């Protein structure tokens, strides 16, 4: 068979290209789906509570990942500033994970508990009030938007269907839990829980 | 990961590399080396522009072979083939641990020496203060500001006014364990709007911002009853509870009537997050000494 034959047949060439490029995926990606390190929650990792799940979705919707990564890399310069490096087992309930690829702002993988709730609120309302040189946009309007209980219930049901260990009781009580909760409250609850499963280093 | 997948990765990778090597050497032998008419590729541009069907140049092929040799060497040296850990015994985790161990060996003695010093002396040590300044820049500026003058709700660290005390133990504890202030909402107990408004004026009169009118002055027994447990009967505060001195001109949330009204109606819960886990004992002390030294000028002026 000469390359002439392949080059003159679009279908044959397509099949061979797919075969060639899929080897990498087959070897690198598929085994990971069966890796316990990547599939099973790390110690201390639980499914997001309903209010934190709502906050996570605000985080994703507002594109926070455009400027904030959520992955502490295994270098001393990172762990000194942020805390222990991120492991795959810590992101099993993130759909999709928020590793991010760009840091205009700091990494947020372990921001939980680093600042008070009041700090987070004021900072979201006006970042310049606390960090004068900050280029972060303001998100004051999140305060005026209530969390949608119906949407949240539907999300929880979907995640349960996908295999996240939510109990029926948790889903049933979710709507009541977010009554009167603003998107700001939910986002702060989400941030305050980030990475708190691992902290002690010294 | 089950052993099957380790073998899947290892065999898949090796077979694919061998296949690549075969494909490249096979295709290198293809194609005519002569220039007969039927060996034109068959395209024709601009009426007479045609192309010979020649093999790829040798240097191009060698690049492929070099890539394959590099790949084989890499897979022998580093972990890549399933469970095989590589001849160099390298792993991301080991590299990180080695980096941390090297840093600990280099820097820990420096921190230990400084931490062993007496607190007052440490706070005046220029090199310790350089370390303290860089710790401050990493961990403290987001709330207390890069000039350490704070913001509304976040104490100014350059004055000699200390909410939670200025002893070594108190400052270190503030940094390492954090602080949570508990000013409760008192409006109902103060007797609604009028009582609260009077108490605001009484509190302002304590530091002489305004004269106590008759309504405000009458709040004094109420102040003793409700506020003195934390702020003391004379309003000078209590560092054990983080209760501010109300008789001075330092105001954590501002001295305006509105700010004081908010405190009385909604309470205040200032939080200093704990940093002990991040800093450890030695660095907490060095940072505490640096913070203590920030107000040295004002302390000497007093």
Whether B236 is in a domain gets the answer: yes
Chosen from B99, B142, B154 to mutate, greatest number of chain A CBs within 10 A? B142
How far away is chain A from the Cα of B122, in angstroms, using its nearest Cα? 22
pLDDT at B83: 85
Whether B187 is in a domain gets the answer: no
Nearest CA in chain B to A198: B277
Closest CB to B273: pick one of A28, A34, A116. A116
DSSP result, A67-98: T------SSHHHHHHH-SPP-GGGGTT-SS--
B273 contacts in A (CB within 8 Å)?
A: 113-116
B279 contacts in A (CB within 8 Å)?
A: 202
How far away is chain A from the Cα of B44, in angstroms, using its nearest Cα? 15
Once rounded to an integer, what is the mean pLDDT over residues B220-248?
Answer: 91
- Decide if A118 and B270 are in contact by the 8 Å CB cutoff: yes
Chosen from A74, A77, A108 to mutate, greatest number of chain B CBs within 10 A? A74
> Chain B within 8 Å of A162 (Cβ-Cβ)?
no
A82 and A131 in one domain?
yes
B141 and B285 in one domain?
yes
A76 and A19 in one domain?
no
Structure ipTM: 0.82
pLDDT at A1: 47
- Decide if A26 and B99 are in contact by the 8 Å CB cutoff: no
Nearest CA in chain B to A76: B100
B84 and B8 in one domain?
yes
CATH number reported for the structural domain that contains residue B126 in this entry: 1.10.760.10
B247 and B209 in one domain?
yes
Do A72 and A109 form a contact (C-beta atoms < 8 A)? yes
Q: Write the CB contacts of A181 (distance below 8 Å, at least 6 apart in sequence).
A: A51, A54, A146, A147
B166 and B277 in one domain?
yes
Strand B271-272 versus strand B179-180 pairing type? antiparallel
Whether B118 is in a domain gets the answer: yes
pLDDT at B157: 95
- Decide if B1 and A34 are in contact by the 8 Å CB cutoff: yes
Q: Which domain holds residue B21?
A: 3-90
Cis before residue A96, ω within 30 degrees of 0? yes
B147 and B112 in one domain?
yes
- Whole-number Å distance between alpha carbons of B155 and A129: 14
Nearest CA in chain B to A38: B1
A118 and A21 in one domain?
no
pLDDT by position in tens, chain A (length 202): 467 788 888 999 999 899 888 988 888 888 888 888 888 898 889 999 999 999 999 999 999 999 999 999 999 999 888 889 999 999 999 988 899 889 999 999 999 988 999 899 999 999 998 888 899 999 999 999 999 999 999 999 999 999 999 999 999 999 999 999 999 999 999 999 999 888 766 6
Do A190 and A56 form a contact (C-beta atoms < 8 A)? yes
A58 and A9 in one domain?
no
Nearest CA in chain B to A40: B1
User: Where is the domain boundary, B57, B90, B123?
Assistant: B90
A8 and A78 in one domain?
no
> Please, is B260 exposed, middle or buried when counting C-beta atoms within 10 Å of its C-beta (0-12, 13-18, 19+)?
buried
How far away is chain A from the Cα of B290, in angstroms, using its nearest Cα? 19
A60 and A133 in one domain?
yes
Whether B110 is in a domain gets the answer: yes
Closest CB to A36: pick one of B1, B103, B271. B1
Once rounded to an integer, what is the mean pLDDT over residues B13-27?
Answer: 89
Q: Provide the b/e sequence for B110-132 (b: ≥16 CB within 10 Å).
A: ebeebbebebeebbebeebbebb
CATH number reported for the structural domain that contains residue A71 in this entry: 1.10.760.10
B292 and B145 in one domain?
yes
How far away is chain A from the Cα of B272, in angstroms, using its nearest Cα? 7
pLDDT over 50 at B208, yes or no: yes
A81 and A25 in one domain?
no
User: Where is the domain boundary, B64, B90, B116?
Assistant: B90
B103 and B143 in one domain?
yes
pLDDT band at B30 (very low <50, low <70, confident <90, very high): low
- Decide if B277 and A119 are in contact by the 8 Å CB cutoff: no
> Chain B within 8 Å of A23 (Cβ-Cβ)?
yes
A9 and A88 in one domain?
no
Where is pLDDT greater, at B60 or B284?
Answer: B284
What's the domain count of chain B?
Answer: 3
Whether B31 is in a domain gets the answer: yes
A168 and A140 in one domain?
yes
A131 and A169 in one domain?
yes
How far away is chain A from the Cα of B213, in angstroms, using its nearest Cα? 34
Which pair of tokens denotes residue A173? 């009580």
Chosen from A2, A31, A113 to mutate, greatest number of chain B CBs within 10 A? A31
pLDDT band at B217 (very low <50, low <70, confident <90, very high): confident
Whether A197 is in a domain gets the answer: no
Q: Which domain holds residue A13?
A: 3-34
Whether A97 is in a domain gets the answer: yes
B297 and B153 in one domain?
yes
Nearest CA in chain B to A30: B5
A164 and A71 in one domain?
yes
B231 and B287 in one domain?
no
B263 and B219 in one domain?
yes
pLDDT over 60 at B37, yes or no: no
A103 and A26 in one domain?
no
What's the domain count of chain A?
Answer: 2
Whether A201 is in a domain gets the answer: no
- Decide if B12 and A27 are in contact by the 8 Å CB cutoff: yes
A119 contacts in B (CB within 8 Å)?
A: 142-143, 154, 271
């Amino acid at each position: 068979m000469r390359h002439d034959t392949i080059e003159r047949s679009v279908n044959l060439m397509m099949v061979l290209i797919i075969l060639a490029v899929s080897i990498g995926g087959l070897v690198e990606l598929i085994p990971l789906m069966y890796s316990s390190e990547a599939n099973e929650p790390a110690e201390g990792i639980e499914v997001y509570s309903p209010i934190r799940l709502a906050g996570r979705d605000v985080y994703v919707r507002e594109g926070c990942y455009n400027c904030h990564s959520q992955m502490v890399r295994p270098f001393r310069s990172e762990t000194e500033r942020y805390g222990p490096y991120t492991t795959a087992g810590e992101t099993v309930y993130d759909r999709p994970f928020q590793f991010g690829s760009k840091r205009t702002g700091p990494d947020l993988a372990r921001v939980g508990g680093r600042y008070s709730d009041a700090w987070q609120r004021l900072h979201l309302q006006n970042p310049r009030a606390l960090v004068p040189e900050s280029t972060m946009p303001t998100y004051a309007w999140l305060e005026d938007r209530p969390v949608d209980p119906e949407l949240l219930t539907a999300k929880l049901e979907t995640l349960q269907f996908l295999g996240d260990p939510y109990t029926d009781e948790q889903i049933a009580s979710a709507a009541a839990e977010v009554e009167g909760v603003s998107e700001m409250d939910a986002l702060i609850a989400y941030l305050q829980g980030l990475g708190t499963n691992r902290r002690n280093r010294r | 990961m089950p052993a099957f997948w380790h073998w899947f990765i290892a065999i898949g990778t090796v077979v694919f590399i061998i296949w690549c090597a075969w494909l490249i050497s096979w295709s290198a032998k293809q194609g005519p080396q002569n220039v007969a008419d039927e060996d034109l590729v068959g395209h024709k541009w601009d009426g007479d522009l045609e192309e010979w069907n020649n093999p790829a140049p040798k240097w191009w092929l060698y690049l492929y072979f070099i890539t394959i040799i590099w790949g084989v060497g890499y897979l022998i040296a580093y972990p890549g083939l399933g469970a095989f850990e590589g001849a160099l015994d390298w792993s991301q985790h080991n590299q990180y641990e080695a980096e941390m161990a090297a840093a600990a060996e280099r820097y820990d003695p420096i921190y230990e020496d400084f931490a062993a010093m007496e607190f007052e002396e440490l706070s005046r040590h220029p090199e310790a203060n350089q370390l303290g300044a860089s710790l401050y820049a990493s961990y403290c500026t987001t709330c207390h500001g890069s000039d350490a003058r704070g913001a509304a709700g976040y104490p100014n660290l350059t004055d000699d006014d200390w909410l939670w005390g200025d002893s070594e133990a108190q400052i270190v504890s503030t940094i390492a364990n954090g602080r949570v202030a508990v000013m409760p909402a008192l409006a109902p107990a103060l007797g609604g709007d009028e009582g609260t408004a009077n108490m605001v004026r009484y509190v302002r009169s304590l530091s002489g911002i305004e004269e106590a009118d008759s309504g405000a002055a009458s709040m004094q027994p109420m102040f003793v009853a409700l506020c003195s447990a934390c702020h003391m009967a004379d309003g000078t505060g209590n560092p054990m509870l983080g209760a501010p001195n109300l008789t001075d001109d330092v105001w954590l949330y501002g001295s305006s009537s509105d700010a004081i009204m908010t405190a009385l109606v909604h309470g205040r819960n200032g939080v200093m997050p704990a940093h002990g886990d991040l800093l450890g004992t030695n660095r907490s002390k060095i940072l505490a000494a640096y913070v203590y030294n920030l107000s040295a000028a004002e302390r000497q002026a007093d």
